[in-house]
A and B are shown apart, each in its own frame.
Chain A
Amino acid sequence: MISEIRKEILSNIEKEMIISQLTKGKRIDGRGLFDFRKINVIPAPVEKAEGSAFVSLGKTKVLVGIKVNPAMPFPDTPNEGIFVINTEFSPVASPLFELGPPSEYAIEVARVVDRIIRSSEMIKLDELVIIPGELVWMINIDIYALDDNGNLIDASLIGTLAALYVGYIPRVEVIDKDRKKIEIIKEERTPIPLKDMPISFTFAKIKDILLLDPTRIEENIMDARLTIAVNNKGEICSVQKGEGGGFKLEDIHLAKDIVIKKSNGIRKIINDQLVKKPRGKEAWNEIRRLSYGEDEES
């Protein structure tokens, strides 16, 4: 661990500078306290996945991919499809991440994204049944962090939404119901049945200051973290508080008000890109352009 701590100890001078700027309402990257960094959504770059998205949130980058397979339903929900969310935070994305089994943090992010999708009932699970009680579609959603420059939670959720949005289920024909014999016709696709698009907002608290979408350095000095998600109808559909510090009641009210005020705008930013941007092979032109740093504004 020491080698990692070495990279991450911020000098007291820098810390004080960031905090003194924050008390004046200014952030080191010039954003307002409650602004998101630029969100780039590149739909469906991975052709072998049944759904995928490359997302950048400022300089944070994630790649999300979906694979779908027929599977046995859970005994308590025999007539519902299954989805599983998994995060892979490998050292590609950060010197703080390690190879091997997922860290507590990676699991927390996966579970938060899972709860947001589940609470908002985004995926119509009842439409994912192949043979009732016997066979359903299982949607595996794998979130790969590529570059961690802060707020992997919101980036991961956006990536998941986008991959689901462009994702599909192949047509399936039941040949023998009793023997569970089916034929999958890969070429014939229907979109994954969806009914909502929840949006999450992650805040950091540094001293007495609340701010949205923390960068890595802000995460480094934050005392506490709060994620609030909201669905299409404007209902709050998941909350997660993280890190060792605490929030006052008024912080929570303020955060909630911002989420309610801003969620439609963020949803539109994501939606517009999903609708307009080229998919498949052409998506890579955009990934290349982004990677090449031609999109410096963040």
Chain B
Amino acid sequence: MTIVTKDNIILLNEKGRRSDGRKWNELRPISMVVGVLERADGSAIVETGGTKVLAAVYGPKEMYPKHLAMPDRAILRVAYRMTSFSVEERKKPHPSRREIELSKVIKEALEPAVILEEFPRTVIDVYILVLQADGGTRVASINAASLALADAGIPMKGLVTAIAVGRLGNQVIVDLNDVEDKYGNADMPIAYIPSTGEITLFQMDGTMSPDLFDKCLEVAIETLNKIHEMQKEALKRKYLKNKKD
């Protein structure tokens, strides 16, 4: 089955290869580096193919203005922003509605993982900057933010791991790139905390049959477990490096 877009991009060829030559379940090259910023309390860069995301964490720190603080727990704040040159058309610097919505859903994806009760009346700030966008920026942001939180020494029930799955015709695909994101038939970003088994970000657009929907979820969890291993490895890397010396 070959799937071609209106402007002749081959999304899926007869050999089952995708626009960038990947198999249906193949991930783009992933790189994760933790502790990349001097000023932030925790930080990470996550790259998934052409998508490059930087996350910085500050806190827990005193909340100002004080009336916004919670007496029994910390507040988590998340700001997701894209650089103006991360996309084809220059994005104006002020936050778009998309950036505001993504900030919210990313915050809600991270919140269940962070043990906020340990820091009453404080705030933990997460700032995410998309340096280059090539599909899957929200899931890369969640992967980066959860590493940055761990790097800041904030107690967590587990790392949050995220991936987008979707479909091209009847074919489930994993880790959608920009073109697949735009022209594919469905896109389903998912975040998951492997230790607690909770799904904390769940969105979909496009259409999907109930069977394919189930298949997508199954494939997503499988992939998320793989990415979770990479995250753990990225966190431990600098200490393991010292150990070898």
Contact = CB atoms under 8 A, between A and B. Distances in A.
Contacts of A216: 39
B85 A90 contact: no
Given A92-B127, A288-B45, A291-B36, 4 more contacts: A63-B83, A63-B131, A91-B127, A146-B54
A40 B64 CA distance: 37
Interface in A50-79: 50, 52, 59, 61, 63, 65-67, 69
Interface of B: 31, 33, 35-40, 45, 47, 50, 52, 54, 56, 58, 61-62, 64, 79, 81, 83-90, 93, 125, 127, 129, 131-134, 238
Contacts of A48: 85-88, 132-134
12 contacts: A45-B132, A46-B132, A65-B84, A88-B83, A91-B79, A92-B37, A92-B129, A146-B54, A149-B38, A284-B47, A287-B45, A288-B45
Contacts of B84: 65, 67, 86, 88, 140, 142
Interface string A258-298: 00000000000000000000000000100110011100000
Contacts of A65: 83-86
Given A3-B64, A92-B129, A284-B52, A142 B39 contact: no
B54 A67 contact: no
B39 A95 contact: yes
B163 to A, nearest CB: 21
Contact of B129 (A47, A90, A288, A293): A90
A2 interface: yes
Interface of A: 1-3, 6, 45-50, 52, 59, 61, 63, 65-67, 69, 86, 88, 90-95, 99, 140, 142, 144, 146-149, 216, 284, 287-288, 291-293
Contacts of A63: 83, 131
A291 to B, nearest CB: 4
Q: Counting chain B CB atoms within 10 Å of each CB, which of A65, A90, A92 scores highest?
A: A92
Nearest to B64: A3
Nearest to A64: B85
Contacts of B31: 284, 288
Contact of B33 (A49, A148, A291): A291
Contacts of A146: 37, 54, 129
Nearest to A46: B132
A86 B56 CA distance: 22
Contact of A92 (B56, B64, B88, B93): B56
A160 B93 CA distance: 17
B39 A47 contact: no
Q: Which 5 A-B pairs have the closest CB atoms?
A: A65-B85, A49-B85, A67-B90, A291-B36, A92-B56
Contact of A47 (B40, B50, B58, B81): B50
A69 to B, nearest CB: 7
B88 A147 contact: no
Contacts of B40: 92, 147
A88 B82 CA distance: 11
Q: Counting chain B CB atoms within 10 Å of each CB, which of A52, A146, A287 scores highest?
A: A146
A142 B54 CA distance: 17
B58 A91 contact: yes
Contacts of A140: 84, 90
Q: Counting chain B CB atoms within 10 Å of each CB, which of A52, A66, A90 scores highest?
A: A90
Contact of A3 (B39, B62, B85, B87): B62
Contacts of A148: 39
Contact of B81 (A90, A149, A287, A292): A90
Contacts of A50: 85
A2 B88 contact: no
A149 B39 CA distance: 7
A49 B133 CA distance: 11
Contact of B131 (A6, A46, A93): A46
Contacts of A49: 85-86
A6 B54 CA distance: 26
B127 A90 contact: yes
B82 to A, nearest CB: 11
Q: Counting chain A CB atoms within 10 Å of each CB, which of B33, B125, B131 scores highest?
A: B131
A46 B64 CA distance: 36
Contacts of A292: 33, 36, 238
Contacts of B54: 92, 146
Contacts of A144: 83, 129
A1 B66 CA distance: 12
Nearest to A292: B33
Contacts of A147: 37-40
Nearest to A284: B47
Q: Counting chain A CB atoms within 10 Å of each CB, which of B36, B38, B61, B132 scores highest?
A: B38
A88 B93 contact: yes
B64 to A, nearest CB: 5
A47 B39 CA distance: 27
Given A67-B90, A90-B129, A146-B54, A46 B85 contact: yes
